[in-house]
Amino acid sequence: MSNSFHNDFMALALDRASLMLENKALDIPVCAVIVKDNKIISIKTNEKEKTNCTMAHAEMLALIEANKKLNSWRLEGCDMYVTLEPCAMCATAIMNARISNLYFSSYDIQYGAFSTSLNLKKFLNSKINVFSGIMVDRGDEILKKYFEKLRK
């Protein structure tokens, strides 16, 4: 897949995260997009605050929707694009789902589980390919705006 596809899918995820800011959503603006054969099969944003559900992270919701659409828990051949480095819960679910490639924008210094805080890929012996820092300036700006609004 060419870089333009990766940028298009990440741009879409960042657009959805940015839209959360515009709509004054309480949730941290994170979006996850799952793609198979260059087609989007799932796109979800964080809903933890909205639903009062601990596990309603964008990645988890996107995985659930993709599982239903493909009628399988195995998501081999799928790529995931996320605006923020997944936490340990999401990272484990992503690897268990057998996502082939993960692309994320911003690094999560506190909870990131693929490179920043820890790297679960090493512990779980996963074959997932991880690509980080995709359109990171835009991802960081969205998060910065969210936390500035939260502090006001």
Q: Please say if 59 is a catalytic residue.
A: yes
Listed in sequence order, the DSSP H helices in the chain are 3-22, 48-51, 58-70, 88-96, 120-124, 136-151
The residues facing 123 across adjacent strands are none
Instruction: Please pick, among 22, 47, 49, 59, the residue that the annotation labels catalytic.
Output: 59
CA distance 40 to 38: 7
Tokens matching residue 15: 């657009």
Which residues form the catalytic set?
59
